[in-house]
Structure 1
């Protein structure tokens, strides 16, 4: 059984200044050179953490007990004060933006996976930092202190409940985990964690994409006559 040591860093407050092209100004983006300051509510925080606590159970279930998540939750006593451009008009909290906390709480080799929760959107007035997705992820590297890395934003309560509990955390984690196993010679299906619809799966109103994730995490996604993904034996 593989034990994945995991850290969730929770940032309740965002305090940044960003410059954006004028065509991005609107209810769903900050204005050019605007100071964006937001603190998530207790409800938003509770929704996110409750969902995260469902993530380990999903991993156990979908790997038939071959993988286990052991996690810690840390709430740094500071605001998130910088974001990294994904493009000329999209931003996210990269490892550079939390470097001091990574080095303090997640020194190289301490964790297999790191998650960041951040307040991307003010749910009361609709103002938001432009970002490509609810969650963004990458494989382990020196930049991430040797751990898979994923950032997931705050969201309305309905977003967390409109899927299997813990699913968004699982989805982003799988991007990094698929990279981990691909580097060890296991062939992943096209688009790895994003490949459900491409491979003929349908999203369930109650179970989300977990049918696809189960096959991905057991090496049973059919593609061009081959079964691809992470074999159950690889989790040992």
Structure 2
């Protein structure tokens, strides 16, 4: 009888040990992730550092698994509850509809202001505004959408302002075109209408010069602005031939449009939405921290990694920061403005 009791207790202990090991194993199931082409693997919105095909250990529970393809720049995602090992083979059915982001592009034909040589005007022709708009749309196609792995689809509205617009002169003698100079002319600029407004005007025309040491300026906390819209003013040096200057930017500094837009969402907006973003640069702006993270001019890899959430964290190279495709899919800036 005593031997029977001991045998029973021993069997129970073995069973408990097996159950304990089973529970420990199942608490970290393995997911095997593949996609139609090589892609970067995201887990719950964060880049994992792995590319397909790969096996990853995850905790039990609800997860979002994403793959951003390296070649076609597409994003696949699947929401699932994981209790055990599972194969996740992404297909076209896992590609989400992109989030629509809306931009208003304003071509200003004439700006006026008081310079040292007196009050004067700088004028763009209709053809020059067309060239500037085409340059912007080129950037939408080449950078804005593919850098987000096409989780964003940009709808762009263009308006040309044909009446002269007065420039503002700052205490540092910079000439800028402020939002309040345009809202009366363009009443469509209001909370919830656009994610960003781009204003394009001519820096110099003959002897009339509004030169200031910047290409573009962006308002970095749009939801705290009266218009609750991203705002960017572009002061373009058309020179003798605007297309020649545009071609120079395309070849040497092609990211100037996306750079300014990223200021409107990468300094406060996505941080306030809980995204882990890079540290600020020396001037206090996150987007100007490229060298701190060992990126080099003309910064195209920085913009791409910044938008895809693939910037290696300085403190922990195995973790990554930036915006990421899941963040782009969740809510656009104008939707946040409407919620406010």
Q: TM-score, normalised by structure 1?
A: 0.81
Q: 1:94 aligns with which of 170, 178, 183?
A: 178
Higher strand share: 2
What's 1:116 paired with?
Answer: 199
Distance 2:185 2:226 in 1: 12
Which is further off, 68-77 or 156-165? 156-165
What's 2:223 paired with?
Answer: 141
* 1:163 aligns to 2:249 (yes or no): yes
What's 2:334 paired with?
Answer: none
Over the residues paired in the alignment, what is the CA RMSD in angstroms?
Answer: 2.2
Which is further off, 42-51 or 90-99? 42-51
* 1:234 aligns to 2:327 (yes or no): yes
TM-fit CA distance, 1:43? 5.0
Aligned residues: 215
What's 1:200 paired with?
Answer: 294
Which is further off, 181-190 or 63-72? 181-190
Does the CA-based 8 Å contact 2:190-2:229 persist in structure 1?
no
Does the CA-based 8 Å contact 1:84-1:91 persist in structure 2?
yes
TM-fit CA distance, 1:160? 2.2
* 1:67 aligns to 2:152 (yes or no): yes
Report the CA distance shift for 1:67/1:42 in structure 2 as closer, same or farther (over 3 A): same
Does the CA-based 8 Å contact 1:89-1:130 persist in structure 2?
no
Distance 1:12 1:45 in 2: 8
TM-fit CA distance, 1:42? 4.6
* 1:177 aligns to 2:265 (yes or no): yes
TM-fit CA distance, 1:47? 2.9
TM-fit CA distance, 1:121? 1.7
Q: 2:311 aligns with which of 198, 214, 221?
A: 221
Does the CA-based 8 Å contact 1:56-1:68 persist in structure 2?
no
* 1:76 aligns to 2:76 (yes or no): no
Distance 2:161 2:125 in 1: 16
* 1:4 aligns to 2:101 (yes or no): yes
TM-fit CA distance, 1:87? 2.7
TM-fit CA distance, 1:134? 0.9
Question: Tell me, what secondary structure is at the counterpart of 1:4?
Answer: strand
What's 1:27 paired with?
Answer: none
What's 1:150 paired with?
Answer: 232
Structure 2 residue runs of 5 or longer lacking an equivalent are 1-97, 330-340
Structure 1 residue runs of 5 or longer lacking an equivalent are 19-29
Deviations 1:111-147 (A, max 9, x none): 111111112222x44x421434110001313535111
Which runs of structure 1 show a deviation greater than 3 angstroms over 4 or more consecutive aligned residues?
Answer: 41-44, 141-144, 156-159, 163-166
With a CA cutoff of 8 Å and minimum separation of 6, indicate the structure with the bigger relative contact order.
1
Matches within 5 A, 1:28-39: 30-31=115-116, 34-39=118-123
